[in-house]
Amino acid sequence: MTDISSKILIIVPSHNEEANLPGLLDEIFKTGADVVVINDASSDNTEQVARDKGIQVLSLPVNLGIGGGVQTGFMYAVRNNYDIAVQLDGDGQHDPSLLAKVTAPVISGEVDCVIGSRYLPSDKDENYKTPVLRRLGMHFSTGILKLASGLVIHDTTSGYRALNRGALEYFVKCYPTDHPEAEALLMLQQAGFRIREVGIKMRTRNNGESLFTFWKAAFYPLRVIIGFIGVFSHPWQGNKK
Amino acid sequence: MIDFFSDVQNLGLSMLTALFAFTLWLLRTNRLDAHITVRWLFVELIAIALLAMWKWLPVFGYTSGLADRELILILVIGAFVFAAILILDILVLLSKQARQIKTLAQELALLRQRTDVVEDYRMSK
């Protein structure tokens, strides 16, 4: 069980986010939580921008994608004895002021993982406009997740997540690479971790472009299916203990 | 002749299905990277579809004119399966090395951060 004195780390995976990071980091400072920026082999000044703010930076020498980047943050969290880690994208779409809402169920020990959801029926973000391709991909992964495990998650692609120590240690051992969100949920569910969604408002990206391109979206359903096959066929992943 | 063609086609489909199953087994045993597998399964499915519909493809009319269509079909399937096994072998190697590179990159990033902390501490003293 996690208590209110929990040590919280915010993990900010970033790839070419020099324009979005300063504002986001200023907002994160206000929460009082520790923060680490994962610089995923950016070609711009992402690393320097974070260092100028006095932030710890994990700079990857080669681009590992969102999965490899986030897993590096989980490794950092476990090695530095954090109780809870919150993943918060470097594009500024996730509002750090919602940190307390996202972490509360983990801090109280009710669940092991919380997803910040835009589409929770009881607390839907009506203002957020999801691009068509992303929406299709998300409906697909939501449907297949429900089919495969019975788990109903309305926002499978949300990267705003809080994890407790047990889930962190589990993901240090194995975490999916590209577009890992839906697969990671299935892994957690199969391993017996408890997952819950909380409603959040998400902002639109101010600068830069999404990495979810047309071709990535076209292959997304196949990737999800393959990822799910991988989860079901690796017996060692099936137990959180 | 038609029966022989069907036999060749069935043999080819069996070989390709076995290759498909082998690819899935490589994924299951963690030897093949999931994202490489996606592309590869896609290629294998196309090959299976092509062979299943061979009679209706324009190339069939051409090969049947040569009167050795079964031989050509056998050669095409044989060449595809041989190339596929070679490529799979290379992909397994690539997947293993990609995993190793990922681990090394992560450890390097974590070590650099620790080194920076120690350096900052020494500078402040």
Q: Who wins on pLDDT, A24 or A133?
A: A24
- Domain residue limits, chain B: 2-94
Nearest to A76 among B38, B42, B110 (CB): B110
Return the percentage of chain A with pLDDT > 70, whole number: 84
**Residue A60: band (very low, low, confident or very high) from pLDDT cuts 50, 70, 90:** very high
Left (φ > 0), alpha (ψ -120 to 50) or beta: where does A58 sit?
beta
pLDDT of residue A201: 86
Q: pLDDT per residue over A124-183, tens digit each?
A: 766 776 777 777 777 887 888 888 778 888 888 888 999 999 999 999 998 887 778 888
Range of lowest pLDDT (A88-92, A197-201, B20-24, B77-81):
B77-81
Q: What's the whole-number mean pLDDT along residues A115-130? A: 78
Q: Who wins on pLDDT, A134 or A191?
A: A191
Q: Of A80, A73, A114, which is closest to residue A7 (Cα–Cα)? A: A80
pLDDT of residue B3: 64
pLDDT of residue A204: 75
**Residue B82: band (very low, low, confident or very high) from pLDDT cuts 50, 70, 90:** confident
Token pair recorded at residue A192 = 């017996």
Sheet with A113-117, side-by-side order of all strands: A56-60, A34-40, A8-14, A84-87, A161-164, A113-117, A195-199
Distance from CA of B51 to the nearest CA of A (A): 22
The dihedral built from the CA positions of residue A83, B101, B26 and A157, taken in this order, carries a sign that is positive
pLDDT of residue A92: 85
Q: Does B105 touch chain A (CB under 8 A)?
A: yes
Write down the mean pLDDT value for chain A: 85
pLDDT of residue A1: 46
Using an 8 Å CB-CB cutoff, list chain B residues near A64.
102, 105-106
Q: Cβ B105–A71 below 8 Å, yes or no?
A: no
Write down the mean pLDDT value for chain B: 80
Token pair recorded at residue A94 = 């996730």
Given a contact cutoff of 8 angstroms between Cβ atoms, the answer to whether A105 and A176 are in contact is no
Residues 6+ apart with CB under 8 A from A172: A71, A74, A75, A78
**Residue A40: band (very low, low, confident or very high) from pLDDT cuts 50, 70, 90:** very high
Using an 8 Å CB-CB cutoff, list chain A residues near B33.
177
Q: Cβ A61–B102 below 8 Å, yes or no?
A: no
Q: pLDDT per residue over B42-64, tens digit each?
A: 888 888 888 888 777 766 666 55
pLDDT of residue A2: 46
Q: Does B59 touch chain A (CB under 8 A)?
A: no
Q: Who wins on pLDDT, A6 or A233?
A: A6
Task: Using the predicted structure, report yes or no on whether residue A17 has a pLDDT greater than 60.
Answer: yes
Size of interface A-B (CB pairs under 8 A): 66
Please enumerate residues of A whose Cβ is less than 8 A from a Cβ of B. Answer: 38, 56-62, 64, 68, 71-72, 75-76, 79, 176-178, 219, 222-223, 226-227, 229-230, 233-234
Structural domains of chain A ordered from first start: 8-238 (3.90.550.10)
Q: Cβ B35–A229 below 8 Å, yes or no?
A: no
